[in-house]
Structure 1
């Protein structure tokens, strides 16, 4: 299998590349920073990785590389939890997802002309009609991308302390919900080319880095505690389960549509703080007041001060087996 990946040098993407490479697959890393990608994936250790420069918001020669791939995983997007949400920053968050996905879909669509498709195994082959007068009696065939796995986020649902959301729930109306709506709408256009689409709405991903990496230092200094009221929901997932979900979506043609990439047991922020303290053998006693987060992040404080209780109903129905369904086991693996 040959897979093109955007966001490949990031928290999830780098682990996905390692997993695919370890299983002998070919990977195309689409990146804005080839020098950094070469450090993350040195050729002597990653012989099956091809690093290709690309500009997410512009067409280019990188798009032609996608035509040789079986699947595309689109993980790229500006981080939402870093810095204040100025009007300019909010536009960057939106455009990085909207325009980036737009160009990925454009590349896949151009690689998938509206022609008859004959299925061989799990990979369709698009039939290219013979050219009149060419003397070629048998039509040629070429391999085309058959699946797009596109990231989204549980911010799609908005926030609530009391409601429960699954994949059938309506969208919210705050900024992040609107971003996710636009993001997913761009991805859905790939279905016009007959390409299987899987949208993964990510919860808070736990691993060595990411959101958890910002919470650990205060606990190490015996100054840890819940953020804000502590009552906001925290719908999480271990990064290993994220990679396993993507692998399942790549290899199982029956997987299609929207899936919540969250663990089946969300917790409230106070429970997260308490469990983290127990695993680290540290107290959880010093709350971080909401006004301090608001002063630091402005509108972006919604990411940590408000949350949503999200259940992975469709994900569980696929038979997916979580390696870390409970928070304590996930934190113990990461920290120990």
Structure 2
């Protein structure tokens, strides 16, 4: 299999590259700049790097792909100033538009494009459950970003387009998990805000497997929720983390304190959504880590 990963130097992209290189696949990573040759790891030496400018100027370098995965976009984990909001949105739209231009210029385009999206498309709720049939709800900055992101993705001309609505990805080498688990390692963990807000999550290994599943299953297209079948509340996450790491779950973080510290960004921690992977399960995808406790136990062993 020959695959290209736009934004492939990130947390999820690196995990995919490592797995696919080990299995003998050809991996191209589209990135702003390639790593210096003298500093490259063994994995990086096995990857073909293409810059965004090279992709624009030499699209033939991406001919004959079996799949293209676009994960590129600025992180939401920054203070949401007006300038940051503009950068977060434009980074997503620009990379999607670059992929759309590439697909239109290839004589042998990949049969499937996996386009990153996010569970924020559903808005937030303490009581509702969302699956792929749930309507998009624009009610805050993240949901506005994701709606615009998915609308831009509709401009990609592909035989099959999968919009992967990604939840919180749990892994030791990046993403939110190292920061989430740190208070428990220090013995000062506790619920955030009310603790009733839902947290939809997925183990990194399942994230990578689900992307591969979507590539190989020709009957999957459109929105796909990348989330475990068993979301938890914030309080339940904390109690499970405390149990696995043998640390107390006792020191609550008041919502007003988070709002004062993080501003509008605090809503990511104080609001949530209960998202289930109806389409993945209906097509027979098997989650290796469907329950939070076993996922945390595996991460602890790393």
What interval of TM-score do these two structures reach, taking the shorter chain for normalisation?
Answer: over 0.9
Residue 106 of structure 1 aligns with which residue? 101
Count of aligned residue pairs for this structure pair: 299
Residue 199 of structure 1 aligns with which residue? 163
Residue 34 of structure 1 aligns with which residue? 34
Superposed CA RMSD: 1.8
Residue 180 of structure 1 aligns with which residue? 146
Q: Is the alpha carbon distance of 1:32 and 1:238 closer, same or farther for their aligned partners in structure 2, counting shifts above 3 Å?
A: same
Residue 274 of structure 2 aligns with which residue? 309
Q: Is the 8 A contact 1:25 1:48 kept in 2?
A: no
Which of 211, 223, 242 matches 1:246? 211
What SS is found at the alignment partner of 1:35? coil
Residue 86 of structure 1 aligns with which residue? 81
State the alpha-carbon separation in 2 of the partners of residues 36 and 312 from structure 1: 39
1:77 aligns with 2:44: no
State the alpha-carbon separation in 2 of the partners of residues 87 and 37 from structure 1: 37
What SS is found at the alignment partner of 2:56? coil
Q: Is the 8 A contact 1:198 1:257 kept in 2?
A: yes
Q: Is the alpha carbon distance of 1:291 and 1:27 closer, same or farther for their aligned partners in structure 2, counting shifts above 3 Å?
A: same
State the alpha-carbon separation in 2 of the partners of residues 14 and 229 from structure 1: 35
1:217 is displaced (CA, Å) by: 2.1
Q: Is the 8 A contact 2:34 2:50 kept in 1?
A: yes
Residue 54 of structure 1 aligns with which residue? 52
- Worse-matched range after superposition: 103-112 or 237-246: 103-112
Q: Is the 8 A contact 1:37 1:51 kept in 2?
A: no
Which of 254, 258, 278 matches 1:289? 254
- Structure 1 runs of 4+ aligned residues shifted over 6 Å read none
Q: Is the 8 A contact 1:66 1:72 kept in 2?
A: no
- Worse-matched range after superposition: 246-255 or 300-309: 246-255
State the alpha-carbon separation in 1 of the partners of residues 61 and 70 from structure 2: 14
Q: Is the 8 A contact 2:170 2:176 kept in 1?
A: yes
Q: Is the 8 A contact 1:198 1:258 kept in 2?
A: yes
The structure whose Rg is larger is 1
- Worse-matched range after superposition: 245-254 or 271-280: 245-254
Q: Is the 8 A contact 2:113 2:158 kept in 1?
A: no
Residue 129 of structure 1 aligns with which residue? none
Question: Tell me, which stretches of 5 or more residues in structure 1 are unaligned?
Answer: 113-142
1:67 aligns with 2:63: yes
